[in-house]
Amino acid sequence: MADKALTQPTAGTAARNVDGYALFWGLPLALWQLVFFVAPLVFLVVMTFWTVKNFRLTPDFDTVNWVNMFSKGYVIDTYFRTLWYGALGAVVCSVLAFPASYALAFKASPVVQRIGLFMLITPFFTSYLVRIYSWQAVVSDNGVLNNLLGVFGLGPFNILGTLLGTMVGYITLTLPLVILLQFFSLSGVDRNYIEAAQNLGCGRLRTVFLVIIPLAKTGIILAGTFAFILCFGDLVSPTSLGSSKPPTLSILIVDTVKQGNNWPRAAVVALMMVLTLIVVAFTAIFFAYRVKKEKT
């Protein structure tokens, strides 16, 4: 009995083994984050204090870049415009995606679900840039859409170079991903709650808003957050479908670099974007996983 007791690991030894196991498998992820996120972010912060002298980047510690960027009204206007574009794109994509994800989760057969999921993954097989250039041929003044509407005596509608054109690009970028995330969240909703709500006299529409959406709120919020992150930082759609006027922060970064090779000021704008996305992501996670306390 004594020998058997000696051979059995103690609780402390087991805990140390588990910690070592977790550390072993968690180390690659930690190194990845350190090398490809933390280190570039620190370098970005340092670069914001550098200066450009005679078109040459000079290591320095000067706040002139921050002062110049925040003292210009168009930078602040561009920031809030980009914030608005990203939020609008996230809301539009979430609203358009919900009927499709709901139909796949609750109405479609397993075969149709598999086909639908395959069709949603297919757009990622082609370059996003190619898809946006294809939209130029569709929504331009003499494009396919206006020619088709002209047959019925409608149009032409000015889409290319407008906010609507930018939204078309945002939808192209994010809609398949949002549908997938919403579908996976809706698929996890317990059907017993839906049946209970209907047995209590709750209609279909009320069931969706009072039962299904609250139960799937985590996936819905995270899907909208991913859409906002992609729209907020996108350069292709505002440039190719929105004509770059008025600019977004991504366009402002490109213009700042082109004008005098001013990387430090561009780093200020980039850091503004990174901090905004961090705040938005953590705020979304808080609301997605928040559990309401029951009143006593």
Return the domain boundaries, the chain. Answer: 10-47, 72-289
Residue 10 DSSP one-character state: P
Cα gap 169→61, rounded to integer Å: 39
Which class in CATH covers the domain with range 72-289? mainly alpha
For residue 44, pLDDT beyond 70: yes
Position 152 scores a pLDDT of 86
CA distance 270 to 212: 38
The reported pTM is: 0.87
**Does the pLDDT at position 221 exceed 60?**
yes
> Is the predicted pLDDT of residue 61 greater than 90, yes or no?
no
pLDDT, position 260: 72
Please name the residues in contact with 276: beta carbons below 8 A apart, sequence gap of 6 or more: 83, 232
CA distance 89 to 210: 25
pLDDT value at residue 2: 47
Q: What is the pLDDT of residue 286?
A: 93
